[in-house]
Copies of this chain bind each other. A is one copy, B any other.
Amino acid sequence: MTQQQASARLRRSPEQVRAAVHQAAVELLCDPDGEELNIPAIAARAGVNHTSVYRRWGTLDALLADMVTTRLERDSPLKDTGSLRGDLLAWAEASVASIRTPEGRALVRAVILSMPNNTRAQAERRQQFERRMRSIEKIRERATARGEDPPPLEQILDQLIAPFYIRAVFGIDPPADGYPELLVDRLLHA
């Protein structure tokens, strides 16, 4: 009796489990009819035992944070276009494309959901945010090295990043045409 379950166990490698869980979490975030987001639901959808999730990540927040970090780093390979305007435009176009997809919006939502209120998370929130800003900082540094004079980070935050976030959070579609150019031009001509 008990030996049979042993043979029936189908097992995947840690990396497969990790990918399956991340994928399941994104899908649950996207799926409008999906059940609510918690560890048992994610594990079930991933076809993974829930204990594996509890042991590896501990909490839903940690799981989401890990998932977000992994996906963002995988999906945002910033390229050097040779000019500040080009770099910003590439970034903005990638962002617009991203928040047009359910998965992209879900990712932004997850960034916020994965930031609980407790004390330790407060620091992680800042860290998470700065990690997000790093690609923009890189763009600024390259511009400075070229002799260009990029706007301060704070201004880029207000005029370029903030619009994307608010639209992702509230599900507001960006204007159909020329939106990235509009934002970048506004930023650079201020």
Contacts and interface: CB of A to CB of B under 8 A. Distances in A.
Interface of A: 28-34, 36-37, 109, 112-113, 116-119, 122, 125-126, 129, 154, 157-159, 161-163, 165-166, 169-172, 175, 183, 186, 190
A177 to B, nearest CB: 13
A64 to B, nearest CB: 13
A183 B34 CA distance: 39
A117 B165 contact: no
Nearest to A119: B32
12 contacts: A32-B119, A32-B122, A33-B119, A34-B117, A109-B112, A112-B112, A113-B113, A125-B170, A126-B171, A154-B175, A159-B159, A165-B166
A186 B162 CA distance: 15
Contact of A29 (B117, B119, B157, B169): B117
A63 to B, nearest CB: 15
Contacts of A31: 117
A36 B117 CA distance: 8
Contacts of A154: 175
B172 A166 contact: no
A101 to B, nearest CB: 15
A182 to B, nearest CB: 9
Contact of A163 (B30, B109, B122, B162): B162
A24 B129 CA distance: 28
Tell me which of A122, A169, A183 has the highest count of chain B C-beta atoms within 10 A of its own C-beta.
Answer: A169
Contacts of A33: 118-119
Contacts of A32: 117-119, 122
A172 B122 contact: no
A33 to B, nearest CB: 6
